[in-house]
């Protein structure tokens, strides 16, 4: 037994020992726990103690009253700033994280390094050569090969959608620069990104397969500012790698207006970039170790790397702040969970979930002990829904209780058969790890995503605190139980 | 007499000849003209005909139903784009304007060239060297001297306000880069710009007088995006000219956050710029010539040049669109005013009202025949107030009637002893020309002003039309009268 004394501030709630067998008593309870009592949650009462629920409420309310999330994001984005995967700056971000986590007194603070091929952006630009010479706001897509030093000039062929490009005859773009212009629309859940970002990821090689010498897209973003949105591309093997860039939305409008006049439209773009074959990245890990079943792990986290244009505040400083603050809140409350809560700050997410894959490989032997996981990687908007993917009755019941604890702060329980929980969870989900997702309102997320404008002034502290509340409730409640979410885990 | 037939669309209103003596009749009138009748405007009735008022109403309502302003701004910002004073691009803007004005069939379409010293921006950038290395979003102020090719590095000394900088002891900034950080606040009338832009215009030489080797300001702007705001500086003679740049507001926040930690803050900035001693600029002029007193001139207009970072949509493509569309509306209605309405598209406004000064000098002999003038140079926001400076009783009365015609579209009459009417009016006002100002709502103007983000997507067509209505009413009503606004003009 390794039960710590409760934090003085949490003295209202005395920690129960061997609470598994304890029966819920409905005296001196808040509205929420009263609801639990009245709704008769006997099965869950056998696996999660009354005190554990009460502690979750305290955590939630403390988070809502103000957490350290904003201070954490501000520190990261100020003291490190941009931190491209595999760069020296990402290394400084790891040093920052190790220091921040050690200072907070978490256990097993460590870097788990891995090697990767990194990409570096040096210079870039663009201009319309004819019919109306003027500068264009463009940025190279992450991974783009460089142009010749003098740039790449060519006439543009416009496609409204990626499907239109796909339908172009072989060789029809020979010597030309392909442009795909479909505009991403706002959605609350960000679900349209999956469709629209294919123009960015898959487009360059599709264009190359038709003979194009360069590739331009309307930024995958929902703003109308002169910030081009970068983001990773994926070159197909066996096809020429052509330079690929995104235009800011007003510049894409300009291109389309000019093209609509029917005159030939010639542009010049230039990219200086390079690849670093054996760069270092890493995942930074910290824990609150469980007193009863330390080998059973609840993963929360965010990714530490960012694109290089902004300072990575919404993507994903916010997630770093939210999940680190949630862990801190639990520790500061003097609460000791029965299982281990592990914070993972993944490296090199933006360039293909490299950190998440490295984590999966390094921890392969303990993946079956990963109870559940969730990443925060959708900016700083409030949470409006919680979903999960449970395959056990106890998991279903606990999911219901998490939903009931989050409902008072406006979070509605959604489906419980929906795997998900952030990009870095996907390799773990594929390896069988259950997941929970706190859905944030992302209507504004793609205004800033992958732009120079992704800076900390765009975040709202109260909104981050709302996320901290949700993460703290979730992580604490699962960690202080013995509920499993896998099939047959009961 | 040179009276043209009314435009078919305007056939509701028959043009009166010698209307000066006509008495207002209160039958078959609209609410507005009824109000005129009831309020007993006998003095004005003697100088402006009932039909003239009625035509003004028609113009107003047609403008509100949709004008060509948006199409004009779109054409200018697309086909020319940025058009820095004295540049080849400003020359293309003049060619565009001459063509657009000729196509519309205006009279006396011409360029009135003048010579100026131009400034060119080639490259620029900035970064924090220590304690937290990262890129800064900066732009050179217009007119800034270049740095060495390797840039200018130095430790920053921060001042909260320009007054604080002014109070620094002589020599106290030796070898340092001065930073002034006061943040401009939003105002509806833009009046705070006059105060805050002194940090930009006067700051560099004040800093140099204290020994500074470089000068940085928080952008004179109200947004929180990573767009630095450029704009002209004024070096004092006899002081070293030091490189001067503006930081985007989020970057200014970053600098101030770091400085608040008390660590030495070292930055590097670089500017490549050059001066062109004898560049060409020009004012483009077009007219509807008065049939009765063609030598008497009502001036409306906007400036044709823009800063080089954006495409000059709000500053001042909007004004070009508004005033050109107002003139077009009058012409398309088949209306012939008694006096000449002259549209002036001034060159080189941004770098010190050079076009306005050239206009004043070139037209010195006819300035006393300039009845009144107004420039549109505050973006695309709606008009909320009209002010003027009349020194005659008839002028006062006509100002009142302009206000009554604009009230139905939400424009309130303000003071009639307030000279103003756009920056390019100031040399004319100083030379005794009366002025009228259509005050636009500028709460968002300084979000975009002098940034790369000043593009046409930020404008709203209906809002431009609202301005066209106001300009058309004003220009028509004064031009189709013999009212003077100068003292003793009655």
Asked if B132 and A250 come within 8 Å (Cβ–Cβ), the reply is no
Report cis status (omega within 30 of 0) of the bond before B82.
Answer: no
Burial pattern B237-268, b for ≥16 Cβ within 10 A else e, equals eeeeebbbbbbbbbbbbbbbbbbeeeeebbbb
Q: Does B80 touch chain A (CB under 8 A)?
A: yes
Q: Does B263 touch chain A (CB under 8 A)?
A: no
Q: At A404, is the secondary structure helix, strand, or coil?
A: helix
Q: Does A249 touch chain B (CB under 8 A)?
A: yes
Burial class (CB in 10 A: 0-12, 13-18, 19+), B336: buried
End-to-end CA distance of chain B: 23
Query: What is residue A261's DSSP assignment?
Result: T
Q: Does A455 touch chain B (CB under 8 A)?
A: yes
Q: At A394, is the secondary structure helix, strand, or coil?
A: helix
Q: How far apart are CA A165 and CA A179, in angstroms?
A: 9
Find out if CATH 3.40.630.10 is the number for domain B33-117+278-479: yes
* Residues of A with active-site annotation: 349
> Closest Cα of chain B to A77: distance in Å?
9
**Contacts with B458 from chain A: Cβ below 8 Å:** 224
Asked if A135 and B82 come within 8 Å (Cβ–Cβ), the reply is yes
Asked if B89 and A134 come within 8 Å (Cβ–Cβ), the reply is yes
Length of chain B: 490
* Residues of B with active-site annotation: 349
Which B positions 48-77 lie with beta carbon below 8 A of chain A?
Answer: 74
Question: What pLDDT score does A171 carry?
Answer: 95
- Which residues on neighbouring strands pair with residue A387, listed in sequence order? A437
Show me where the domains of chain A are located.
33-116+280-479, 132-264
Cα torsion angle, A130, A131, A133, A138, sign: negative
Which residue on chain B is closest to A447 by alpha carbon? B225
Partner-chain residue, chosen from A82, A225, A456, that has the shortest CB–CB distance to B225 = A225
Which residue on chain B is closest to A254 by alpha carbon? B78
Phi/psi for B438 (5° steps) reads: -95, 105
Asked if A455 and B250 come within 8 Å (Cβ–Cβ), the reply is yes
Per-residue model confidence as pLDDT tens digits over B369-396: 999 999 999 999 999 999 999 999 999 9
Measured from the Cβ of residue B106, the count of other Cβ atoms closer than 10 Å reads: 21
Quick one: how far is CA B86 from the chain centroid?
A: 18
Which B positions 178-207 lie with beta carbon below 8 A of chain A?
Answer: none
Q: How far apart are CA A135 and CA B474, in angstroms?
A: 38
**Spatial CB neighbours of A13, under 8 Å, sequence gap ≥ 6:** A6, A51, A54, A55, A58
Q: At B197, is the secondary structure helix, strand, or coil?
A: coil
Per-residue model confidence as pLDDT tens digits over B67-103: 999 999 999 999 999 999 999 999 999 999 999 999 9
Burial class (CB in 10 A: 0-12, 13-18, 19+), A110: middle
Which residue on chain B is closest to A448 by alpha carbon? B225
Q: What is the 3-state secondary structure (H, E, C) of A108-119?
A: EEEEEEEEEEEE
Burial class (CB in 10 A: 0-12, 13-18, 19+), B384: middle
The mean pLDDT of B171-195, rounded to a whole number, is 94
Q: Which of B476, B469, B389 is nearest to B428 (CA)?
A: B389
In contact, A428 and A377? CB cutoff 8 Å: no
Q: What is the share, in percent, of chain B residues with pLDDT greater than 90?
A: 88
Q: Does A99 touch chain B (CB under 8 A)?
A: no
> Looking at A24-28, B197-201, B448-452, which range is the least confident one?
A24-28
| Average pLDDT, consecutive stretches of 10 residues, N- to C-terminus, chain A (490 residues) | 33 34 33 40 60 97 98 98 98 98 98 98 98 98 98 98 97 98 91 94 98 98 98 97 98 97 96 97 98 98 98 98 98 97 98 98 98 98 97 95 96 94 97 98 97 98 98 98 89
In contact, A281 and A347? CB cutoff 8 Å: yes
Using alpha carbons only, how large is chain A's radius of gyration in Å?
24
Q: Does B254 touch chain A (CB under 8 A)?
A: yes
Q: Does B456 touch chain A (CB under 8 A)?
A: yes
CATH of domain A33-116+280-479: 3.40.630.10
> Closest Cα of chain B to A132: distance in Å?
5
Angle subtended at Cα B432 by Cα B232 and Cα B395, rounded to the nearest 5 degrees: 120
Which helix (H) or strand (E) covers residue B278, if one does? strand B266-288
The mean pLDDT of B212-235, rounded to a whole number, is 98
pLDDT of residue B118 exceeding 70: yes
pLDDT of residue B110 exceeding 60: yes
DSSP H helical ranges for A387-489: 393-406, 426-430, 445-448, 461-479
Q: How far apart are CA A425 and CA A431, in angstroms?
A: 10
Helices A69-79 and A318-332, packing angle to 10 deg: 130
Which residue on chain B is closest to A456 by alpha carbon? B250
Which residue on chain B is closest to A256 by alpha carbon? B78
Asked if B453 and A249 come within 8 Å (Cβ–Cβ), the reply is no
How far is the CA of B184 from the CAs of A161, B195, B254, in angstroms? 42, 9, 17
Per-residue pLDDT band at B32 (split at 50, 70, 90): very low
Q: How far apart are CA A25 and CA A267, in angstroms?
A: 73
Which residue on chain A is closest to B251 by alpha carbon? A455
> Closest Cα of chain A to B142: distance in Å?
18
Question: What pLDDT score does A49 carry?
Answer: 87
3.10.350.10, 3.30.1650.10, 3.40.50.970, 3.50.30.30: CATH of A132-264: 3.50.30.30
Per-residue model confidence as pLDDT tens digits over B238-255: 999 999 999 999 999 999
Burial class (CB in 10 A: 0-12, 13-18, 19+), A238: exposed
Q: How far apart are CA B221 and CA A467, in angstroms?
A: 32
Q: How far apart are CA B27 and CA A276, in angstroms?
A: 85
> Is beta strand B214-218 parallel, antiparallel or unpaired with respect to B177-180?
parallel
Question: What pLDDT score does A34 carry?
Answer: 37
How far is the CA of A24 from the CAs of A14, A46, A51, A140, B414, in angstroms? 14, 9, 9, 59, 72
Length of chain A: 490
Per-residue model confidence as pLDDT tens digits over B127-172: 999 999 999 999 999 999 999 999 999 999 999 999 999 999 999 9
Q: How far apart are CA A320 and CA A309, in angstroms?
A: 18
The mean pLDDT of B319-339, rounded to a whole number, is 98
Question: What pLDDT score does B48 carry?
Answer: 78
How far is the CA of A337 from the CAs of A5, A327, A343, B98, B434, in angstroms? 12, 11, 14, 77, 79
Question: What pLDDT score does A93 carry?
Answer: 98
Asked if domains A33-116+280-479 and A132-264 share a fold, the reply is no
Helices A318-332 and A461-479, packing angle to 10 deg: 50
Asked if B258 and A81 come within 8 Å (Cβ–Cβ), the reply is no
Per-residue pLDDT band at B445 (split at 50, 70, 90): very high
Q: Which of B72, B76, B99 is nearest to B323 (CA)?
A: B72
Asked if B132 and A458 come within 8 Å (Cβ–Cβ), the reply is no
Q: Which of A273, A278, A286, A483 is nearest to A398 (CA)?
A: A483
In contact, A81 and A311? CB cutoff 8 Å: yes
Question: Which ipTM value was assigned to this complex?
Answer: 0.89
Q: Does B225 touch chain A (CB under 8 A)?
A: yes
Which helix (H) or strand (E) covers residue B206, if one does? helix B203-209
Quick one: how far is CA B90 from the chain centroid?
A: 16
Asked if B310 and A226 come within 8 Å (Cβ–Cβ), the reply is yes
Per-residue pLDDT band at B488 (split at 50, 70, 90): confident
Partner-chain residue, chosen from A78, A453, A457, that has the shortest CB–CB distance to B258 = A78
Burial pattern A277-313, b for ≥16 Cβ within 10 A else e, equals eebbbbbbbbbbbbbbebebbbbbbbbbbbbbbbbbb
Mutate to test the interface with B, among A132, A265, A454 (most CBs of B within 10 A): A132
pTM of the model: 0.90
In contact, A235 and A241? CB cutoff 8 Å: yes
In contact, A471 and A300? CB cutoff 8 Å: yes
């Amino acid at each position: 037994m390794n039960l710590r004394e409760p934090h003085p501030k949490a003295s209202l709630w005395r920690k129960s020992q061997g609470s598994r067998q304890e029966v819920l008593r409905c005296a001196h309870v808040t509205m929420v726990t009263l609801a639990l009592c009245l709704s008769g949650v006997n099965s869950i009462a056998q696996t999660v103690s009354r005190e554990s629920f009460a502690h979750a409420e305290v955590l939630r309310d403390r988070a809502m009253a103000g957490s350290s999330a904003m201070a954490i994001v501000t520190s990261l984005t100020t003291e490190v700033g941009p931190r491209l995967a595999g760069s020296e700056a990402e290394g400084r971000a790891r040093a920052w994280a190790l220091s921040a986590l050690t200072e907070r007194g978490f256990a097993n603070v460590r870097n788990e390094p891995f090697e990767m091929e990194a990409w570096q952006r040096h210079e870039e630009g663009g201009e319309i050569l004819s019919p109306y010479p003027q500068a264009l706001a463009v940025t190279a897509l992450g991974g783009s090969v460089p142009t010749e030093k003098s740039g790449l000039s060519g006439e543009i062929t416009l496609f409204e959608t990626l499907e239109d490009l796909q339908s172009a005859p072989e060789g029809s773009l020979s010597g030309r620069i392909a442009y795909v212009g479909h505009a991403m629309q706002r959605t609350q859940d960000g679900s349209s990104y999956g469709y629209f970002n294919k123009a960015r990821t898959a487009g360059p090689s599709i264009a190359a397969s038709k003979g194009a010498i360069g590739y331009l897209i309307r930024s995958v973003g929902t703003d109308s500012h002169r910030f081009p949105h970068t983001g990773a591309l994926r070159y197909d093997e066996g096809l020429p790698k052509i330079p690929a860039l995104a235009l800011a939305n007003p510049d894409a409008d300009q291109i389309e207006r000019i093209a609509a006049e029917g005159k030939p439209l010639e542009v010049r773009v230039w990219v200086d970039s390079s690849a670093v074959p054996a760069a270092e990245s890493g995942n930074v890990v910290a824990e609150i170790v469980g007193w009863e079943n330390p080998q059973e792990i609840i993963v929360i986290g965010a990714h530490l790397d960012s694109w290089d244009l902004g300072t990575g505040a919404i993507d994903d400083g916010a997630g770093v702040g939210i999940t680190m603050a949630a862990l801190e809140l639990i520790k500061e409350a003097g609460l000791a969970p029965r299982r281990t809560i592990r914070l993972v700050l993944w490296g090199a997410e933006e360039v293909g979930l490299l950190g998440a894959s490295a984590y999966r490989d390094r921890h392969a032997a303990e993946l079956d002990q990963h109870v559940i996981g969730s990443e925060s990687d959708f900016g700083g908007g409030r949470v409006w829904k919680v979903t999960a993917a449970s395959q056990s009755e106890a998991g279903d019941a606990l999911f219901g209780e998490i939903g009931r604890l989050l409902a008072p702060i406006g979070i509605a329980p959604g489906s419980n058969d929906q795997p998900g929980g952030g990009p870095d969870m996907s390799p773990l989900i594929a390896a069988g790890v259950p997941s929970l997702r706190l859905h944030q309102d992302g209507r504004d997320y793609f205004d800033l995503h992958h732009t120079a404008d992704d800076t900390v002034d765009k975040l709202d502290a109260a909104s981050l605190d709302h996320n901290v509340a949700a993460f703290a409730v979730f992580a604490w409640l699962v960690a202080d139980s013995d509920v499993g979410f896998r099939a047959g885990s009961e």
